[in-house]
Amino acid sequence: MTRVAIVGVTGYGGAEAARLLLRRPDIEIVAATSSRLAGKTLRDGCAWLDSDLILSEFDPNVPADIFLLCQESGFAMEHVPDLLARGKRVIDFSADFRLIDLDDFRTYYKKEHTAPHLKGVYGLPELGDREEIASARLIANPGCHVTAAALALTPLVRAGLVNGIPVVDTKSGVSGAGRARKETDYLFAELDNGLKAYAVTGHRHTPELEQVAGVKVRLTPHLVPMPRGLHATVHAPVSATSAEEIRTVLRDAYQGEPFVRVVDAPPTTKQVLGTNRCDLWADYDARTGHAVLLSVIDNLGKGAAHQAVQSLNLMIGAPETTGIPVDAVWP
């Protein structure tokens, strides 16, 4: 039995992690924290979760083997050094330990890193080292835009096909902004029937995507008036000469992967809703010499909580797919 603490359980990412872990016989949630709702039940804070688990304040002393830190950037680098010193293992949902270059962290997150001596293992099993994830004490759970775009782009970079700067256009559901947002921009009346770009240049996920994919990129994300889902379109200049050549590279890269599919038609975000899947499709524009890569994920699934549970499974020696949905919610 692995004992887990979920810190920030009433946020969208934390609640989705709880949804996957609550019914597992090999997992015991020994702490679920919410500073705002401490003393109430998880059902009180998340009506869609049928659990009487009592919410509490964050306490590093709880007898958990693994802490899931589902908080904004800054929380993890403050508390991870103490948690590791106590012998705990950590999966951090924020960007605090994703970037190797701390100058990039300072530039994009506008703060100094307070734990520069600690390095996280990047938790994207399909593009990383599963043995390294399995033995890690600190996992940096990837960003959602990066997950979708990197799974599409990285195999082409590794195959030596990309010969210029790819343009990455992502569109994400509103849940990616978190559950605590109260700005006017996130009101239903402001969002509905509209679509807008944000962080048009200099989005925080840019250095992370470049680090993972191994190539400089031009990234612009967009906010879409839907609850969840993320669609990435990657336009990559390539030396390939056909769509089939590009699709073969993707199929070879993900052969046998349980959560990544190369599909036969342009995918929709709805077909991966509630899952840990990433569905990919590719074409080739002979006129401009560009690969056109489409990638869809659930931003709370493969883009956050489900991917964290995938890493957790590797860490505890469970089958990688344990407790993780692969079939979408429909309609």
pLDDT of 207 over the 80 cut: yes
Q: Please state whether the peptide bond connecting residue 331 to the residue before it is cis, i.e. omega within 30 degrees of 0.
A: yes
Decide the pairing of beta strands 278-285 and 260-262: parallel
Q: What is the pLDDT of residues 56-101, one digit of tens each?
A: 999 999 999 999 999 999 999 999 999 999 999 999 999 999 999 9
Q: What is the pLDDT of residues 121-174, one digit of tens each?
A: 999 999 999 999 999 999 999 999 999 999 999 999 999 999 999 999 999 999
How confident is the model over 174-178, as a mean pLDDT? Answer: 90
Beta carbons within 10 angstroms of residue 40's beta carbon: 14
In this structure, are residues 275 and 236 in contact, taking their beta carbons and an 8 Å threshold? Answer: no
**pLDDT score, position 185:** 80
In this structure, are residues 306 and 275 in contact, taking their beta carbons and an 8 Å threshold? Answer: yes
**pLDDT score, position 132:** 98
Task: Identify the CATH class of 2-119.
Answer: alpha beta
State in Å, rounded, how far the first CA of the chain is from the last one: 36
* pTM higher than the cut 0.85: yes
- In the chain, which residues fall in CATH 3.30.360.10? 144-299
**pLDDT score, position 186:** 79
**pLDDT score, position 320:** 98
How confident is the model over 16-39, as a mean pLDDT? Answer: 97
Q: What value does the mean pLDDT of the chain take?
A: 97
How confident is the model over 38-61, as a mean pLDDT? Answer: 98
Q: Model confidence at 189, in pLDDT bands (50, 70, 90)? A: confident
**pLDDT score, position 11:** 97
**pLDDT score, position 180:** 79
Active site residue ranges: 144
Could you tell me the CATH superfamily of domain 144-299?
A: Dihydrodipicolinate Reductase; domain 2 (3.30.360.10)
pLDDT of 181 over the 90 cut: no
- In the chain, which residues fall in CATH 3.40.50.720? 2-119
Q: What is the pLDDT of residues 243-296, one digit of tens each?
A: 999 999 999 999 999 999 999 999 999 999 999 999 999 999 999 999 999 999
Question: Which range among 77-81, 186-190, 211-215 shows the weakest confidence by mean pLDDT?
Answer: 186-190
Question: Which range among 123-132, 184-193, 316-325 shows the weakest confidence by mean pLDDT?
Answer: 184-193
**pLDDT score, position 51:** 98
Cβ-in-10-Å burial (0-12, 13-18, 19+) of 116 comes to exposed
Decide the pairing of beta strands 2-7 and 66-69: parallel
Question: Which range among 47-61, 187-201, 251-265 shows the weakest confidence by mean pLDDT?
Answer: 187-201
